[in-house]
Structure 1
């Protein structure tokens, strides 16, 4: 973000001009900027500017030029600057947004190709060629940008791009040397910045310079530290350099590259900086020999923190403290080559001697150790330290030779042998710790662990490892770690420990191996016997019927013990999940509901059986609906009750249908049966019908005529009247008598059709005729 100055600044700005970097686009030509300002050396020759591209602002302003920072806080006093906006916008203070564009100001294909970018704009380019007399050249630079925005996640996403591209003139492939030191990472906003809260983690933060306030000498929000670009060259060969910077994606938010005057020099490589930030610092008491040897060198001058080290005029220099080291190498052509390196020191790790206590079956003091078990104690839990190797002697540990080849299964050769661990930090600095190998003398006698067989009585069951741990815990120190293994070797190697559930592999009894560790050391090893004991086998769960019509009679429920004497068990009975007082294998009940029984063997194992008692009942016949006086009489039997019923008529052949058709007239008996065995009920009914003829010949068959289904029980109040074909009343028949015998006043009537009229008590009337045959 930009900083807005108040009127106070405007009133006093004339006194602050000297604090701001000044730019000049007119005094120096591009050739002079490169040859006289950037290089200014007789040892780099044949300097020729071959191409210049910049923004066209329609006046004298350019997008490149000279800068003078004398008297400011800017790291360079002077040099050249390339920007993606107007050169005049480079000058401080940092109070406006540099956000320029120009007509037909395009990007650069070489920059896009080598940085794998696309869609660049506003490219400022200066290309030149040179010849050097040494095999390395370098120059110092600083990148600044408006896209540095303090506390803004945009800093994590957007960045203009620039490159210092170099190639031998006979080669068409460029190499970019504007890189984060000791990496192949291009320098830009997104690769060099501190932590951005709620945005992104720091990237190469040690090479970030500063966030710029309103009083900064340049008009950009942030800048890198001073960086050095270095290239290997062939002495006497001609090289082509392309200095290029461009906006990326759009012209917004300009950036600039500042190159220090006179910094384009012959270079002597002293190796990469050894810094804490890059995990390459030297370790305390470590000596590093710097080597500036170079063909054609005539003398060497060494500097420590810019102070010449008198008497140090050899090609090598031994570093023994942190600081900045420089070398000036005089060459036989009166040229000089310069080298620089920054050295920082890291402390050696703090470690402590420790011991490992392992278990030993025969107590001879010799056993197998996992040396890595000592890591936590050696490093005191410091996660930044690592123990990689172990050694038989301290000297071997110091020299990192003859590492113990099998540290996870190391067998000591003498009781209480001492071995040595080399602990390193991120800088590969190390310290050596002693590990004393000892054995435990603890004896642990574990009681057997019993578990009931599962539903299939086969001697196999599932053991919960947590239950086994709880079984052992009272016998070992508080906080000890308890592990179980199927083999003794696994126990000693700490491999294949059992977790979760374990099913025994041999029926009824199996032995596991137990290892107890306390404070990281073996406390004891032992064995534990796992026993699968007999579990009661019961009849399957079932349902039983209770006939409500037999209440308060009782039925019996059985615990259902199989293949054993019921007297070997204790019993708990529950009714609807509530414990009841019954405690025998058989109980008498007369209530419906859910019953369960837990049968517990004398060995403590138990099984549960559930019995659901459901109601049933003999039926209550609520109604018999009769459709009668036709050739297709029917009966429908309606009942109530909690049973499951079947129905029969006369012959007690039952079926599920409660409707009977084609029923003959007369007296009938209906039956209702409860399928669950709670009884049968019946009812006699009358189906009214009218015979079509009768034969009063005293043969005992059809000697009288009377409606079928009529008697004193069912229809004593029925009226039955007989007429001849002319309507003459012949006889009133009583339903209590046998019927009409075909006579009137003792005289036999002839064969003929006669008529009847039957009136029921409800007023319903039936009429018809019948035949008298003698």
Structure 2
């Protein structure tokens, strides 16, 4: 059969290595047979599958410990169980919970069995998965490679309810003695056994009975069953390495093989089922391309010893890696010269080292090789093809063609890009991702000498990291990345001061740097904003904690409260009405005072006490008889005050003998003031000139509107001596002279 594998190479990619088996359950039965399982010399048709679709899939070993590179997998349950960590399993270690007490994914073709498998198992079978097809072979033999694996290993070795599988071949020249349907034979046999011994859990195993088995059950199959342990591999079931597949044990790679008639029409049934129950899954792995008949085969690969590959093993890159064509022949009796055609867009001796158009395979050898080395011509040519074609007469006497193809790609300079990063917080883990283009696989060397593709760092300060990437051709490229740590959290406060104990003081803080957003915690009153108000009685500190997304900082805010002495003063507590008296040694507080007058004995009269201030003293004058409280406060009235209790009494009236109503700057003696008049409201005053003429008269004389040297009509009177008659409200009468003198 002719097969051509086309690989689409994407120039820009990064190498990725994963050592866990890859299962693809989207493959159809037709794809599984025609595009995966079949090799050369076989043509298949009438492909059918019986079972749940999750019981069949393709697999790629991908570095796992399954001993076949890729192919088709059939299982008694969900075949994804071979790798998936999602299925229930009691013992957990391993990629899917590998264990040595058994497990299974469930699922499967419940209740469906197969008569041929029931003969092998000797019990009822369930969950049968059956892939079968007709085929024509172009040679005299047909063969394929397989591995059987099971969760029933090793506990159920020599048990009575073991899973079963078989490859049942029927057609011309096949005589199974009527044991199986269609007189088929079972190709799943232990090598070199006569009569053939089928491969089962009780025939290929560790060589000792399991915890749930008895040796007699294995003896019933073959007395030499323990010798077949050379075909058994015990899985490392407690290893957490993801390369370890799920099944607890499996066989080495075995070959199913049978003679056939050239050009004959044959039928094969590949079947596997649970024996006696529906648990403890088993699977059979079928190697890709291994189902073949004797025919010449040509293959190509860049995955020769010492060579890394790029986007598949059919691509070589100019000046970097080599490749080879492999020629396989089934008949090794004689030496043979295989002559072939060279074609494709790549030119011999121009794009690659010269190769001949033939190869000699010596007697006894089945393979020959041609190495391809592509020139680095520094010409952009795109993909070029190199095709080797061999036309030969197959075992049926019919001309057939075998061919294979390589792709030659232009070399592409590698690149690596690291993007600068702002760290979320100092000390946080940050993954530096190297984005590469070109041909991998790449090797990496970071500035800390680590060699992974990506680097996890935890810087506490702004740091520069670099990586050098080397492609398969040895070309190095370097890039660096700066991981920036933000500025440290900085908090500025305006502090505060208060001239008065208990007065409110507004405090605010300014925050910068760090990693916003910011939050606040005033520890003294639970405030959560960047400002607060306090009213301390004494100087003290208040604490606010500022948080950013990474850290916090405690800040003390000091409020300076003025410490004031008590207000004190010496004063005369008994005075005549109208007599002014100073507060002596008035001090304390803020030295700026206010005064409030309170009438202790009766309702307060307007202007009962007058307060006057000079540069040297503060004076108080009673305008009404009575007991008054003079309350002295400063700028902090709520915390500091002084009370002076003064008794004002009506005393004798005293008359000046001269006054000077000239509106001078000193404003003294501007009017005819009667000392003690305040104690005698309702008194009258009459002024006469020297001729006895009344020039001024007031029946309710008051010092606040005392005679100012003008006549009753408002005219200024001349300087000179005038005479007064004062009738006091208590009935006393006084007379005398007063000199009016204007400057």
Bin for the TM-score computed over the shorter chain: 0.3 to 0.5
TM-score, structure 2 normalization? 0.33
Higher relative contact order (CA 8 A, sep 6+): 2
TM-score, structure 1 normalization? 0.32
